[in-house]
Structure 1
């Protein structure tokens, strides 16, 4: 459908790691050197990033900030238990297909009117399958939307550990080749290389196959001084002493 999307990798999105740190800070996200290095490599190598760690350490916000920093649209797939792959990839718009069938009923009649028997009529209709199973009848979901987007996007696959292993398997083609295979249509390759961010709260172990396809980083709760920097970077109205006391209380609750 197009050339290799890796040719569109963002060489110049960030000059270096320090530039990535600065850009994220300007966007209100205080990244550390490890995270800035990871996002710098992502933009140079065109690989997905898998962020693992407890809830509340800024994994989802990182993807939002990456979209803001790079000027890309954010497309989010929120994973959950029992999620059907059709909710993540695509669905056929059966209502639209039926409407077209009704509209084209007369034309269909012309196709089969001189058929010798039922078998021949069915064969003639079967040859027209491509008319009704084409991209015009596809309802894109987040994964296909990101791959088929004319503009570069940030694709956030949030809490991938909550999804069933079946959906995790579906992701492998996208993460390694930046393409999606649709049986009735063919392979849809990325028009623009998306920045893919996966997050996991470690509710279950992810497959080695998925991890191999990603730059992998574990985010933990920041040190007390860094938490104070984060609070001070926001317009909270808290005094320094109160902010320090708040951090002490929250860190104590985490230990409990």
Structure 2
């Protein structure tokens, strides 16, 4: 495995794909090109697609390639600016006040000084967005932005526009060098066009058969060509079966690992049925796969 490399030293999409591959992430030409352009143009990369196709894993692997910390902001309903940006450590502020009282600092002058000290930088808790602005280099992963509310989406757009935030008590904080930003969405709702316009967009499909076999072999060295091909073929049939939740690459990897753990060398119908919980996470999907013979005969 090569040493970490600077984004400016990556000369082409093909070279980036090679570097990602050295970390067992196999990016196709379209994804490698989108990622390369995001690095070179300093634009966030917006990745959309079904769950489990490798969006989050790309950010993790990109951080490994660049030798940069991955700072992850997991989005959810109700997430607000304070939870994503910063908060004040009220417990430490209270302890500071109590310590001051114990030393007899009670005069008007001391009280004014103490009030100013309460909003010192040491009492500020940096949440993911602020940490990303203050850390260089870094990779900021805004994961599943479609789960957040519209208000947070508008706030995120403002931050990503100039990588500057204002803390009223401290002033303006700007990124010396903007972080590499990867925004992901499972498309549970439509993300506003304004945010997408700020980013370079790429839709991740489920991998083709040959690529999925290569992914299985790269991620699970113990997986034989035969087992990888059988698992990838079965996963392809499951995706075409109209299930509630078709398996992504993450589930395919889990399935192959489960089979390897059981000492399997190929995917026979009995093992396929016994390990369905690794690849299908809805009872209805498991029942449909077994009833309709989707698994095939390996």
Moved more, 12-21 or 24-33: 12-21
Pairing 1:71–2:67 present: yes
Q: Hey, what's the Cα distance between the residues in 2 that align with 1:184 and 1:129? A: 11
Q: Hey, what's the Cα distance between the residues in 2 that align with 1:184 and 1:12? A: 36
Q: Which of 45, 55, 60 is equivalent to 1:49? A: 45
1:134 is matched with which residue?
A: 120
- What is the CA distance between 1:94 and its match in structure 2? 1.2
Pairing 1:214–2:210 present: no
2:268 is matched with which residue?
A: none
> Secondary structure of 2:105's partner?
helix
Deviations 1:149-203 (A, max 9, x none): 2x31111111111111222122112211112222332221013321011110000
> Secondary structure of 1:12's partner?
helix
- What is the CA distance between 1:131 and its match in structure 2? 3.1
- Distance change in 2, residues 1:209/1:130 (3 Å): farther
Work out whether residues 13 and 43 of structure 1, in 8 Å CA contact, stay in contact via their aligned partners in 2: no
2:35 is matched with which residue?
A: 39
- What is the CA distance between 1:101 and its match in structure 2? 2.1
* Structure 2: stretches of 5+ with no match in the other structure: 1-5, 242-298
Q: Which of 112, 115, 133 is equivalent to 1:147? A: 133
> Secondary structure of 1:193's partner?
coil
Q: Hey, what's the Cα distance between the residues in 2 that align with 1:251 and 1:101? A: 62
Work out whether residues 13 and 70 of structure 1, in 8 Å CA contact, stay in contact via their aligned partners in 2: no
- Distance change in 2, residues 1:226/1:110 (3 Å): same
* 1:1-256 to 2 correspondences below 5 Å: 12-105=8-101, 106-111=104-109, 125=112, 129-149=115-135, 151-256=136-241
- What is the CA distance between 1:129 and its match in structure 2? 4.8
Deviations 1:66-110 (A, max 9, x none): 001011011111111222332211111112222222333443414
Q: Hey, what's the Cα distance between the residues in 2 that align with 1:84 and 1:238? A: 44
Work out whether residues 43 and 200 of structure 2, in 8 Å CA contact, stay in contact via their aligned partners in 1: yes
> Secondary structure of 2:109's partner?
helix
Q: Hey, what's the Cα distance between the residues in 2 that align with 1:85 and 1:177? A: 16
Q: Hey, what's the Cα distance between the residues in 1 that align with 2:214 and 2:45? A: 25
Q: Hey, what's the Cα distance between the residues in 1 that align with 2:204 and 2:196? A: 15
The higher relative CO (CA closer than 8 Å, separation ≥ 6) is in 1
2:258 is matched with which residue?
A: none
> Secondary structure of 1:107's partner?
coil
Q: Hey, what's the Cα distance between the residues in 1 that align with 2:9 and 2:142? A: 22
- Give the alignment's Cα RMSD to 1 decimal: 2.0
Q: Name the TM-score, length of structure 2 as normaliser.
A: 0.73
Q: Hey, what's the Cα distance between the residues in 2 that align with 1:23 and 1:218? A: 21
Q: Hey, what's the Cα distance between the residues in 2 that align with 1:255 and 1:157? A: 30
